[in-house]
Amino acid sequence: MKKNLHFGFMAICVVIFISNIFLFLHSKGGGNTLQEIILDITPGAIAMTEMANLTAEIGHYSLHCIIEKNSDSDFFQQLQNSVQLLQKQGEIHLAHEKHVGMEEEKAAEKLIEKINTLRESVYFFSKSKLEMNSETLKDHELNVVHQAIRDLNKVLLFHKDLHLAELKAAQTLILSKKNTLNLVIMNSSMILLSIVILIWWMTIKIYNRFTAKQEIQQKQIELDFIEKKQIEEKLHQAKKMESIGLMAGGVAHDLNNILSGVTGYSELILHDLPADSKLRQPIEAIRDSGSRAATVVADLLTVARGAASTRESHSLNSLAQEYLNSPEYKALESLYPKITYQNRLTAVHSNVLCSSVHVKKCLMNLVTNASEAVDAAGLVIVSSENQIIDDDTAARYRIESGEYVVLKVFDNGSGIIAKDLERIFEPFYTKKVVGRSGTGLGLAVVWNTMKDHNGVVLAESSDKGTCFLLFFPVSQKKTISQTDNDAREDLTGNGEHILLVDDEPHLRDIGSQMLLTLGYKVDSVCSGELALEFIKNNKVDLLVLDMLMEPGMNGCQTYEEIIKLFPGQKAIIASGFSESDDVKEAFRLGVGKFIKKPYSIDQLGQATKEALNS
């Protein structure tokens, strides 16, 4: 289409060029018009020229007649012939001047009169010799012929000048018209060419705009199609995650209850078991195995529904440094001695509202994966930096715009191929060798943790290495103070009355025994309804509420009813997982702390102490 427009423009320019040549050649034909005017004037001018010549001849003949009249009569005949020619030329001139104007016609008539005078003089010269003598001829010649010739010459000279002026005026007029015509042709050509160029430019602009609009529309259609496909894939993934969540939720809830018994009872046994007992080592192994199993269940719950946790303001740099000083990280370094580990925690604003446990869990998963991605000697870098996310980038990442602290984990391994990179965050999708490490939930935990923290995780990979980027929104809140709560004596109570509410009998038994061990007075009930009845008749200092209890009211609903009767009642939520809305609502109503199942005696004592002192 654009090529056709250019071809049409060139064709129009060629037409204009040819037209200019034709008009220019036509303007050269102005000489023809001048020639026509000259031809129109010429007969009179020729007649006048010939008359001037003839008058000279007549004068010559008349003088010759005076001198030679008696010797040769041929001169008289020549004189007569000259006068006749003069009369004919005068008639021609008179005929021409009649077409010019009245004044020219009168002047021509005077010429005829003078010619007639000469004709009569010739007749006088033709008389017989007896009738004339020399003196008479000479007198007639001098007084009549010469006077007529002088008058005739004056008139002829006047008309000669008049015709020359007309010729010059005609020539000037023609040249002026010719120059004007050339100027008009040139200006018209320039204007026409400018109009054509303007039309061509506007046409090209319109065409380009139309083409650009079509390209934009086509790209938009393609983007819409890609976006629709991505939405469909995400919807499919969400449905798959929801299915996994429905399956994992019930299984994990039951597993947590079972693991609570394993870890809880082993804790209680170890608390009362002598230090030199031969049963301590196997019971500690049981407790540790239960704790590792609880970690797997926690990962599954994070992928499925999101693990229940409290969010507090922490320095991401500090959390990363805590992990880098942890026994888990030291063990990883000893496992891969040829790998060089570096940290570049340079973020100036590193405070984030987060669950510290989940952030360190994410970092541990990513560093472990990076170490496994480096075959032998290699490099793993943990770094942090601040970055401003604009509206366009935020829309692409599906997060809010603003300032973020970005936690990066880089390795210079062989990278992840494109088809695997699209699926690495799916649960149970792993390319690891069976039995080497991992359950296939590590990156899924990272993805869900970042989603729960209103952030995003991105993966960039090539044959030069892989980098995972975790975007956390910067928090303006001050970080909480870190205190050492490992000493058992700091966790003991002073006989405060605590009501433990849980629908699982062995969990009520474990929790009650732990609280009694810590020095609290404890009562327990199996439902929210019974808790409401109990508290109406018994004052308690603290409630320990299970979040999910079936059938009947859950922990949040139970607390909501209790604070209607006793505003400001202190409480703790205990659960393996929770719907985020219920957790947020419980904290909004006044719940002071959250404790994750299965919990240890130290964790329960710490949460209880903080809730009572709040």
pLDDT > 90 fraction of the chain, expressed in percent and rounded: 13
Q: Which residue has the higher pLDDT, 113 or 383?
A: 383
Q: What element of type H or E holds 498?
A: strand 497-501
Measured in whole angstroms, the distance separating CA 467 from the mean position of its chain's CA atoms is 28
Q: Which residue has the higher pLDDT, 534 or 194?
A: 534
Residue 413: pLDDT band (50, 70, 90) is confident
Q: What is the DSSP letter of 469?
A: E
| pLDDT per residue as tens digits for the range 313-346 | 889 999 999 889 988 898 888 888 889 999 999 8
Here the tokens at position 283 are 């019971």
Q: What element of type H or E holds 341?
A: strand 339-345
Here the tokens at position 508 are 């009520």
Residue 309: pLDDT band (50, 70, 90) is low
Task: Give pLDDT, residue 264.
Answer: 81
Average per-residue pLDDT for the chain: 75
Residue 12: pLDDT band (50, 70, 90) is low
Residue pair 485/468 in contact by the 8 Å Cβ criterion = no
Here the tokens at position 152 are 């005739």
| pLDDT per residue as tens digits for the range 492-551 | 888 899 999 998 888 888 889 889 988 899 999 999 899 999 999 999 999 999 888 878
Task: Give pLDDT, residue 485.
Answer: 42
Angle of CA points 264, 270, 276, to nearest 5° = 165
Give the CA-trace dihedral at 580, 584, 589, 594, to 10 degrees: 80
Strands 521-525 and 378-389, sheet pairing: unpaired
Res. 91: pLDDT tops 60: yes
Residue 587: pLDDT band (50, 70, 90) is confident
Query: pTM for the complete prediction?
Result: 0.48
Residue pair 115/86 in contact by the 8 Å Cβ criterion = yes
Task: Give pLDDT, residue 70.
Answer: 46
Res. 189: pLDDT tops 80: no
CA distances from 567 to 500, 529, 589, 602 (A): 19, 18, 10, 29
Here the tokens at position 329 are 């990280």
Beta-carbon count within 10 A of 432 CB: 13
Q: Average pLDDT of 38-48?
A: 58
Measured over the CA atoms of residue 556, residue 558, residue 561 and residue 562, the dihedral's sign is negative
Q: Average pLDDT of 233-241?
A: 67
Cite the beta strand spans of 136-197 per DSSP E.
none
Helix axis angle, 528-537 to 555-565, nearest 10°: 20
